[in-house]
Amino acid sequence: MKTHAKFRLGMLGLVAFSALVSGTVMAQDTSVPGHPRVNEVNQRLSNQQNRIQNGEANGTINGKQAARDEKQDANIAQRESADEAKHNGHLTKGEDRRLNKSENRDSRRIRRQKH
């Protein structure tokens, strides 16, 4: 098997695992007492995950689109976790702003796909 094929296969597994983990994390209670910025980001990710699942269920989003959107959500969640780790579980205003900007972009893409 060629190196780029192994890499692609590994990335596919990573994406599938990230989607599974993000789906599991999103299904849980996302509120963190005393962390309003973290709660806002988590709630928006949860809402977007629900929109993706609903779109896929009613046929307005296909599997490929859903996978791409879930990958983007997993990326945002990963960046959020990294930012929180830097500041003892908190997000700075700048980090919150950057994450919200990414969530806005992802939300617009989901809306365009569904309509």
Domain count, the chain: 1
Domain that holds residue 56: 3-114
pTM (two decimals): 0.68
> Which one-letter DSSP state was computed for residue 34?
T
Lookup: tokens for 77: 């969640």
80-105 in b/e form (b: 16+ CB < 10 A) is beebbeeeeebbeeebbebbbebbee
Tokens of 3: 């190196």
Distance CA 36, CA 34 (A): 6
pLDDT by position in tens, the chain (length 115): 555 555 555 555 555 555 555 554 444 555 667 788 899 999 999 999 999 999 999 999 999 999 999 999 999 999 999 999 998 889 999 999 999 999 999 999 989 987 7
Give me the pLDDT at residue 24, please.
47
Rg (CA), the chain: 15
pLDDT at 34: 73
